[in-house]
Amino acid sequence: MTAAVDGQAGTTSRPRAAAWVAAVLAPVLIAVLVCDAVITLILEVLYLPLYVGSTAVPIAALLAAPVNVALVWAAATVTNRVIVLFLPIGAWLVAFLAAASRGPGGDVPLRSDLPTLLLFLCGTVPALLYMYVIANRRNSSARR
């Protein structure tokens, strides 16, 4: 006696479980990306005044662009909402403003100079442009 096994029997529970796991892990991933944005800004501020010989080389400012675009890309893998895509960059901006302001001892980690401006522009403009592209790509596909 043989029993026929239906190949479709367990398929309805697997997508539900995957959707549940994705729904639970998405906020965790966004929180990790927000913390990662603050950590990367701290490292960028520490390495911003890097000198090679007597020449200032703001390599940290140039690395801020791909790192922040990668943070937005990682957030886009779990959400479609533009405001959630902005959370890592928003955390980066808040940490940037905190580093640019005067601390309790009167120290300022970020000075008012060209490398700081370059860090700000490289950290925000490419990531915001990438968010703009993602938002428009999703809006154009929703209209079709």
> Are residues 99 and 41 in contact, defined by beta-carbon separation less than 8 angstroms?
yes
Residue 1 domain-assigned? no
16 within some domain: no
- The answer to whether residues 71 and 130 touch, using CB atoms and an 8 Å cutoff, is no
For the chain, first and last CA: distance in Å?
A: 53
The pTM of the full predicted model, rounded to 2 decimals, is: 0.82
Beta strands (DSSP E) in the chain are 51-52, 55-56
Task: Name which residue leads in pLDDT, 21 or 102.
Answer: 102
> Hey, what are 78's tokens?
């779990």
In a domain, 121, yes or no: yes
Q: How many CB atoms lie within 10 A of CB 16?
A: 9
Per-residue pLDDT for 131 more than 80? yes
Count structural domains, the chain. Answer: 1
3-state SS class at 52: strand
Q: Cα separation of 23 and 124, whole Å?
A: 28
Average per-residue pLDDT for the chain: 87
Lowest-pLDDT choice from 16-25, 40-49, 123-132? 16-25
pLDDT digits (tens, 9 = 90+) for 34-83: 999 999 999 999 999 888 888 888 899 999 999 999 999 999 999 889 99
Q: Which domain holds residue 61?
A: 25-143
- Give the pLDDT of residue 2: 63
- Confidence (pLDDT) at 20: 78
pLDDT at 83: 93
Residue 2 located in a structural domain: no
79 in a structural domain: yes
Residue 127 lies in a domain: yes
- What does the block give as tokens for 143? 């209209």
Let me know if residue 9 belongs to a domain. Answer: no
